[in-house]
Amino acid sequence: MATSKRIASVDILRGLTIVAMILVNTPGDWGYVYAPLLHATWHGLTPTDLIFPFFLYIVGISIYYAYKNKANSRDTYKKIGIRSLKLIGLGLFLNVFTPLFPFVEHMETFRIPGVLQRIGIVFFIVSIIYLNCNWKQILAICLTILLGYYLFLGFVPLPNGALPTFNRAENNWANYIDLQLLGNHMWQPDYDPEGILSTIPSVASCLIGVLIAKVLDGLAPLKPLLITAFALLISGYGFSLIFPINKAIWSSSFVLVTSGWGTLILAVIYYFRDIKEYQFGSIFKYVGTNAITIYFLSSFISKCMYSIKLGENHNIHSWLYQSLFFPELISAKLASLLYALVVVAFYVLLGYIMFQKKIFIKV
């Protein structure tokens, strides 16, 4: 972000989101995880379900500040396109990369969608919208996406004539399209949480971030943020009565509720850090300044640790977990959490070192 006075609360929330991503992605044992650190099985909302929409919401805020003074030019579009392709390429690399695995066999089933792929696509679409639309048009686009997605998923019959459903089934439009177009290249055999159709409402999550940035611009008073947060939460929970909150299909109610929580948490941090100027949260700011780099490294290293075997019964990950955290002596869930916290501490330290040495890797 580039502005006359950098808003520290945005950097802190970005870093906190990346830390939370790493925490929930790297337990010692996936069989022993506290419920709040797992995604909802289908409908519903856990703290873990807030993480990815928070990041897209923050991407929207960043787009506002990055491009508010940029010319609507070919060079700007070129830079946006290159950055989007880099993000998508990094995500595909993580999915394709298989140390010591049969590569040809893996290529037949490797996952195509992913977190970085969605960020790249959403970044591209929202940046183009932002450069060509005013705030009223952005709001209208956002509302059209949310309402249109609900009407399409809820009322348009599938090609076989079946009535659509929001449940985890083949006659759910989001799952149906992924099955038809992605086939074996999905996270689960029947759905993908970063699938094709559900990417459309995720654009709305990012657009809301753009609109929130307009409210924030110039260090605005707290009241508009709080009003917006509660308006999003009330409308989201109200909408959930007819369109359930669901991360897997990124339902419209999910967009509104997660954006509401994101705005409320941002407002709290903003009040204490930017208005009252209490000095806290810098440790998250260090991570936030290299957010994509640290997220990519954490995913890449974790995949290597799961893939590289140590003897017949262990890979690097399981050997470290069993050897250092003694899950057989203490609560297995506590041991699993302690492992994740140590991993988080490592990447927080890495973020701090990179910040102190002024190493900022822009993707």
Give tens-digit pLDDT for 148-202: 999 999 999 999 888 999 998 878 999 999 999 998 888 888 889 999 999 999 9
Place of tokens 């076989």: 160
Average pLDDT, the chain: 90
Range with the lowest mean pLDDT among 88-97, 229-238, 344-353? Answer: 88-97
Give the model's pLDDT for residue 29. 93
Give the model's pLDDT for residue 3. 39
Q: How far apart are CA 308 and CA 17, in angstroms?
A: 28
Q: In terms of Cα–Cα distance, which of 283, 286, 281 is closest to 358?
A: 286
CB 286 within 8 A of CB 348: yes
Q: How far is CA 359 from CA 11, 89, 287, in A?
A: 16, 22, 12
**Which of the pair, 110 or 155, is modelled with greater confidence?**
155
Give tens-digit pLDDT for 269-284: 999 988 888 888 888 9
Q: How far apart are CA 309 and CA 47, in angstroms?
A: 33
Mean pLDDT of 217-224: 77
Residue 318's SS3 state is: helix
Could you tell me the pTM of the whole model? 0.91
Whether the per-residue pLDDT at 237 is higher than 60: the answer is: yes
Place of tokens 């998923």: 153
Give the model's pLDDT for residue 4. 42
| Percent of the chain surpassing pLDDT 90 | 68
Phi, psi of 314 (to 5 degrees): -135, 150
Whether the per-residue pLDDT at 217 is higher than 90: the answer is: no
Give tens-digit pLDDT for 41-95: 999 999 999 999 999 999 999 999 999 888 788 899 999 999 999 999 999 999 8
Whether the per-residue pLDDT at 268 is higher than 90: the answer is: yes
Domain boundaries, the chain: 8-356
